[in-house]
Structure formats: C-alpha cells, structure tokens
Structure 1
C-alpha cells in the first residue's frame, strides 16, 4: 500500500476537519491536529491510515468497536470516514496534549524512581482492566512508549489502537501478526492467539524499559543488571513474571498485577521520605510566552535565569526563535564582535548561566539530559506550534503581557484563544503593572495567578523587589525561607 503525500495545513478532511499540522507518524499511519469547522474552537486528533479498499468494511467495524469504549484514560472516537478512492481511512478522536512517554523518559528519565514507575503502571493497569473486561474483550497489543501520552497534569493516556482487536475464544492464533518488536508478546508472532496476558507482557516490557532508563525492553541478564539502583526486589520479580515467554507463567489478569504492585508501593508511600542534602529534584522547565511583541519576555527570561543561578541552581536559558538576535547581541557584548561564535557554537556562559541562542526543540531535548536544575525557555510572542507545545508541557508556563490600558485586551484575547488548554498551572506576569491592573486581569480570566513585575533595569543583577516576586512565583521550585508576599502586590513607590 502506498501512502499519499502528507496533508498540508488548511486541507479539509471529511468536509469538516481542517488540518492544523502533523503531530505524529508511524508505519502506515499519520496523526494530524485538526480544527472542527462546525464546533468553533474545538481541536481533534485525526488518524490517517492507508488501507486496502477490500478491507474498508473491516475498518468500519473496528471503528465501531473503538467508539464503544468509554474510559477517562482513553481518547473518545467521535467520527470515522474513508476516502476509498485513495485507500485511506480516518479516525477522529480527542486531542490529548502533552508528550509521549518516550519523550517524557528522555526528559525526566534519571528522576523516575520506583514510586513514579509503579504509579504509571497502575494507571495503565486501570485502563487495561477496563479493556479486558469489555464485552467482547479488547486487546491492545502494542503498549510501547510512543503510544502512551503523558498529559500536562502528569497523567497517562493510551492513545493508539492501530493494532487493537477483539478477543475471539474460537481462534487459536492471531490472523494478523502485529505489534512492536521488543514490546510485543511472543504469541503475537505465530505461537498463539493474543489475549489479556499479551497486554500484560507488553506492560512488563514497558516497565523494564522505564526501570533501565530506556535501555532494555526484553529480559536478559544484561537487562537485570541495568536496573536502576534502589529498585525494590519485589518490583523486579513482578516484571520478570510479566515477561515470561509462556503466557501460563505470567500473571493472568490486570487485577492480579495491580494487587501485587500496591503491596510493593505501600512501604514507599507509608510516610515522608527522610531528609536529604539534595536541593533540587529533577530538571524544572520554565517557559515564557509573550501575549504580544515587545512585552519583555527576553528581559524576564534573563532575570529569572540569573535569579535561579544565585539560589544555587544550575541554569540554562534558551532562545526558541530562529530569527531572534537578542542572545547574539549579548554574546557579542561579552566576547567581542570578532570572536563571538567563531567556533560555530550557539552557546556561551555568563555569570554561571548557560545561554543557548536560536535553539531548536531537538536541542532542548539535549539540554534536558545536561544535568540542569532549571531550563528557562524564551518562546517569544505568538502561538508558533512548536513553541506552544513547549509552553504547554513546561513545569512553569508563564505568559508575559502588557498592563497598559490599550494593550490589556490583547492579553485577554490571547489567553482566551488558548482556553481549550488546561490553565490551572499558568501564571500571568505584568511588567510595571499596578495592583489594580493585576486584579482586573485576574477577575477577567478567573485566576489568582497574576503577578506584578517591578522595574528592574538590569536583568543580570539582583533586585530586591524582583527577587521577592520571583521567590513567590517559583515557591515550589526553590527551597528555603522567603518573605511573605501577596499576589497582586503593588510596587513600592520610589
């Protein structure tokens, strides 16, 4: 089967779904983000799959099966149609924001302890139990990291059902051998029919993958030696049993595995962890997005970076704008025009902060494995798709906007344009704003996370008022005593 060229932004599928951009691909499928032309502002994920014309009926039956599922960790299937002449079928489903578990591991892998891995496994077992007890039972057959989304709230969603099938008690083997090598059970390749125990094998492979920082998904002596230090022995034994080649030697139901994992996790959550000397827990990403041009995003990104560095953190500040010259000018001032960047490097240091100019999203992933306590992303203004993705998955998403009377409506409109995304963790920062302006904005947007930003002429240098504001804004990230400061606090008059 030959797949058609990728659909361009603006193309309308099914007379209703306008393509925004491609968000994923694999095998003979692509997934697009699409805007609903009938439901204004509604965004969907549309999966396009190449299929033989003779199998269109089977695809329709599969779509009907998927649309009957109803679980909070599964996307809803809301529409199905085909372009028979082109040999393509389309599933329209909920758009799930966040990142794949594969990307999450790349970003946070070294900080995923046994408690987090067990928590993720229990979330997946919850949805597997639902699928396996469905009438008829549904077997997913492809529990790989790229098929699982981690939402901005750090919850899992199982998103790809390209290999799912109903279990048939009258069949001895799978009709079609499908599944990802390394994560699929042996019976999916000819030794028998896949059933609930096949998904449990896939879960074991996924847990092994997480426990070995992405190095292994199949049980070998090398894999056992690669387990992260501190992993409970009982957890290792559970994973080993899940990965038995013979399905009869595995756990038989998702419920059994849930009971075993809860026993392992009970001591881990019985009380507070003992105090340690560690000051930070993992890399925290702070993303700043401007509601309009010239509102001070870069100035604030620099101020935040140097504030966090003064608190003892290892900090990188990255400029995600290929056309911006701000960091280039800083590098020239520091190194001189004749030597700045002559080695081809787009990175330089100043007062303990690493600056990364004109950074791509791929380079951000590299930074995430660089041992930084904080990465501050200067996303500029607007809603560039890549920048918006980084903003939505940041630990601290911050919108910077002007408090001027004639520009405040721009900020309100900007926030409302993004209202389809969860905003509980968002903060709004207003440089040189009065407390009255902050209160008005908070009331308009129904949020208390509005901060006034004081006059701070030199973002590289400490400023008492600015430090007070940032200590409140990042109170969960930087340990240590702080003076109390109310939101909407007015600036001191000079």
Structure 2
C-alpha cells in the first residue's frame, strides 16, 4: 500500500534536516535527500515510513539494528524520529551517492561488464558474511537490485533493512512472511524459518538475474539458453546450487560461495591456475598494515613481514596502497639500477613481488591467484578504500609508536574507528621497550600488542624479528601449504 509523500521541498525535520528532494519510494516508505542545517554542506538520506500492523515497530527495529551494525558496505545511521500521532517515523542515515543496481543494469542495457559483475558478487558476499557471523546472525531477507547501491567507484552498498531480522534459534518459522517475489527463498513464504541460507538463495537469484540480463531469477527449464555468452560456464553450477528449494542442498555459508567463485577462472580476484599446487582451498590470506601517524614504520614492517613469509617458502606479494608514497619506486630504482628508466609497476626482490601505487582493481586481480599471502602497505592515511581493505583483511595490523609521549596516537586511532569490530586487530610498536609494550597492552586492554626489535634492513633475516613474526603470523601460516622447493620437486621426479 503506497502512502503519499508527506514532506515537501524546504520542509524542516526536527529543526535540523531540510528536505531537498525525493530520492525514491517503496510500498510503505519514501526516501528524501536532506541537508544538515547544523553541518553546512552535509547531505543525509531520510527514510519516511508509516507504522501499521503487522509492521508495527519495524522501523524502530530497523533503527536499532542499523545502529548496532558496523561495516563499510552498510549505511551509517545518524538520527531517528519515533512514530508521531499519525504513525510516521523518520530514519536519518548516510547518503550514498550512486545508482541502484536496478538503474545501473538499465544503464548497461542489461549487460554489466563481467569484471564488475564478478566484483559486485564478491562485495555482496563480504557483507553477507559479516551479517551472518553476528551473534545472533542477522538475516537480510530482501536481496534485490533495488536494495543495492553502486557508487561512482563501483563499490556496493546494501540498503533498506526494513525486513531484516535476527535469527531466533527457538523458532521454527518466521512470524511475518516478507520478501520480494522472484528473489525470496521458499521458506520466506511459510515453509520454515529464514536463516543465512535464505539470503544465499536471494544472492543466487540476483546472480542468475545478472547472468540472464534480467530475464530470470529462478532456475526453470530452458534458462541456460538465456545466459550471457560471456558468463563463465562454471558460474552455472554455483547459481543452480544456490537456488535449490531445500536449504540443506544449498551452499551453507557466504564464505563457501566466495571460495567457490575465487576458484573460477575469470572471476574477480581469480587468475587462471598455472600451478595447481598453488590454487589453495583456503584462498589468499591478506595482511593489511596501517599507521597511527606518518613515519610510524608501516612500510618497513610490511617489507619485513613479506620477506619473512617468503623465507618460510610462501609465495608473497606486497602492495603499496598509499597513492602518494614513493617508497616502492625508490626500491625499484635500486633493484633495476642497470636500466635507464625502471619500467612496470611490478618488480621482484628476493622472491617477493612488489606492486607499487596500486588500487582496488589490482587487489581483486591478485586475490585467489597463485599468491598465498598479500601484504598491504596502507600508509597512515585513512581514505574509504584503504579503510575497507584494512577492515576486510585476515590480519589487520596497526603500527604505532611505543614512545610514552606518542602513545596517545594509538588511543586516538581506536577512538576514531570505534564503530568497527576490532577483535582481529593487532598492534606493532617498532623499537618499543618491554615496559612500553605492557603499558599499551594495559591501556588498550588487549594482549595483542607486540614490540618489534631493531632491524636495520627489512629485506634480511633477523632472528629476533623472525621470532616475533612467527608468533604473530603462526595461525595464518598453519592454514597455508608451502611452496615446494626445487629440490623437493626434483626428488619427486626421481
């Protein structure tokens, strides 16, 4: 049931948010663009909803839910207005510039370029993995093109949590049956309680929709003849399994789907396998390092970690993500000193591949390939892309100073990023004394703080540094098979 637009251009909500335009409308809600009168130049999105049965309290639940979520692919909620006497509620959230996936598909005339298509899939799986691993898990339940935003940088944002719910283990089915026809799993219509596999069904429906240029969302007879010719044929069994009627027969987690897609040549983050022994079941592990301030030692530490891993017989790439950094360029000049002008963005030092001044596309092209570890040097800046890579990493490392007069920088860094999960973060303090390390551990209330000893040359082996890295990286290395050396391969041949 549609409700008329209530706010007009120029209306002032809560004495602070001035309405500029209507951005969109749904069955029971409207979304406005609004400017912040207290923060000149700041634009927000305002979602207007009418609270009725059986949806009473749904907007309050959406507000409470969004407030608790911390992920760069989800909108940040900033304000909430409870239902007034007519039942209208208002949710003020981050304004996301871009197009809905629905409009983006139209702009591409139904055929999103395959590289972007594959990237979008992996980004959606990333946010689904986050939601499903919460306690209790959050089930989105409305995966469809209209609820996905594509930013100008081709980043995915998942919007509209109006029918999301927390999984209730004691319930056998959902209280209210909701979802968009064609994209909703069978259990959303009464055959059981929705769980993570319901979202994976919706993801599969979306995947098939894109594979068929908008023609199909369900696996029916003859659907294969409508699949785009440039879609890897190996996508077909993935989509079919996601769309099984019985949830037990689908993929069980978003991580399982991601792993399968990364094994498919042509997918974002995948390259054709040249050595099957390096196509790992666990995928490429990412270690991301960021600094609390300029000069903290991020590049030195990233290089030292990369060469430590290479000496343990892993295949490693180290990526320079700071756009203004010249560190890798200087290293390349030394390595390629015999050449008039160093060429290419990739070069090698003692078996480690260096990628200078790289971006998101470079990372996606390397993930899932033959590298077992990717080490990201993010520098000390915190733009959105680098922040997302830091948060997404298997091991996020904050590099800071152990000097007492500089320890406030670490506290400030944590306070700035307090809304993001920090359970995986570790902290490295170059040249810090033992008492300084203990002091930081106490201040941060975590044991994941490590002092790094003096290492003049990060390319060389240092037994003291190796001992620290073995402790920090041991759990990641244990999950990865090592490269076979020349001599072990020779013995196998003989």
TM-score (norm 2): 0.56
Instruction: Check whether the contact 1:317–1:355 (CA below 8 A) recurs between aligned residues.
Output: yes
* Structure 2 counterpart SS, 1:383: coil
Q: What is the alpha-carbon distance in structure 2 between the residues aligned to residue 427 and residue 384 of structure 1?
A: 20
Paired residues for 1:106-255 under 5 Å: 106=122, 141-143=142-144, 147=148, 159-161=159-161, 183=183, 204-207=201-204, 218-219=218-219, 220-221=223-224, 226=234, 239-241=243-245
Paired residues for 1:336-355 under 5 Å: 336=337, 338-342=339-343, 345-355=344-354
* Structure 2 counterpart SS, 1:424: coil
Paired residues for 1:66-465 under 5 Å: 66-69=58-61, 79=79, 91-92=91-92, 105-106=121-122, 141-143=142-144, 147=148, 159-161=159-161, 183=183, 204-207=201-204, 218-219=218-219, 220-221=223-224, 226=234, 239-241=243-245, 260=248, 281-336=282-337, 338-342=339-343, 345-465=344-464
Structure 1 residues 226, 183: CA separation in 2 closer, same or farther (over 3 Å shift)? farther
* Structure 2 counterpart SS, 1:306: helix
Q: 1:47 aligned to 2:23?
A: no
Q: CA deviation at 1:416?
A: 2.8
* Structure 1 counterpart SS, 2:204: helix
Q: What is the alpha-carbon distance in structure 2 between the residues aligned to residue 296 and residue 476 of structure 1?
A: 24
Aligned length: 360
Q: What is the alpha-carbon distance in structure 2 between the residues aligned to residue 409 and residue 122 of structure 1?
A: 32
Q: CA deviation at 1:207?
A: 3.4
Structure 1 residues 457, 204: CA separation in 2 closer, same or farther (over 3 Å shift)? same
Structure 1 residues 47, 362: CA separation in 2 closer, same or farther (over 3 Å shift)? farther
* Structure 1 counterpart SS, 2:160: coil
Q: CA deviation at 1:323?
A: 1.1
Q: CA deviation at 1:66?
A: 4.0
Instruction: Check whether the contact 2:147–2:159 (CA below 8 A) recurs between aligned residues.
Output: no
Q: What is the alpha-carbon distance in structure 2 between the residues aligned to residue 204 and residue 480 of structure 1?
A: 29
What is the RMSD of the two structures over their aligned residues, measured on CA atoms? 5.6
Structure 1 residues 312, 443: CA separation in 2 closer, same or farther (over 3 Å shift)? same
Q: CA deviation at 1:386?
A: 2.5
Q: CA deviation at 1:470?
A: 0.8
TM-score (norm 1): 0.56
Q: CA deviation at 1:404?
A: 1.9
Instruction: Check whether the contact 2:437–2:451 (CA below 8 A) recurs between aligned residues.
Output: yes
Mark the runs of 5 or more structure 1 residues left unpaired by the alignment.
1-11, 19-24, 38-43, 50-55, 82-88, 132-139, 149-156, 165-177, 186-193, 242-256, 269-275, 482-494
Q: CA deviation at 1:119?
A: 11
Instruction: Check whether the contact 2:398–2:428 (CA below 8 A) recurs between aligned residues.
Output: yes
Structure 1 residues 30, 71: CA separation in 2 closer, same or farther (over 3 Å shift)? closer
Mark the runs of 5 or more structure 2 residues left unpaired by the alignment.
1-11, 19-23, 69-76, 82-88, 96-100, 102-116, 150-156, 165-178, 257-276, 481-494
Q: CA deviation at 1:64?
A: 7.5
Structure 1 residues 454, 412: CA separation in 2 closer, same or farther (over 3 Å shift)? same
Structure 1 residues 435, 68: CA separation in 2 closer, same or farther (over 3 Å shift)? same
Q: What is the alpha-carbon distance in structure 1 between the residues aligned to residue 135 and residue 282 of structure 2?
A: 25
Q: What is the alpha-carbon distance in structure 2 between the residues aligned to residue 299 and residue 292 of structure 1?
A: 14
Q: CA deviation at 1:215?
A: 5.5
Q: CA deviation at 1:371?
A: 3.4
Q: What is the alpha-carbon distance in structure 1 between the residues aligned to residue 184 and residue 398 of structure 2?
A: 43
Q: What is the alpha-carbon distance in structure 2 between the residues aligned to residue 284 and residue 108 of structure 1?
A: 19
Instruction: Check whether the contact 2:62–2:162 (CA below 8 A) recurs between aligned residues.
Output: no
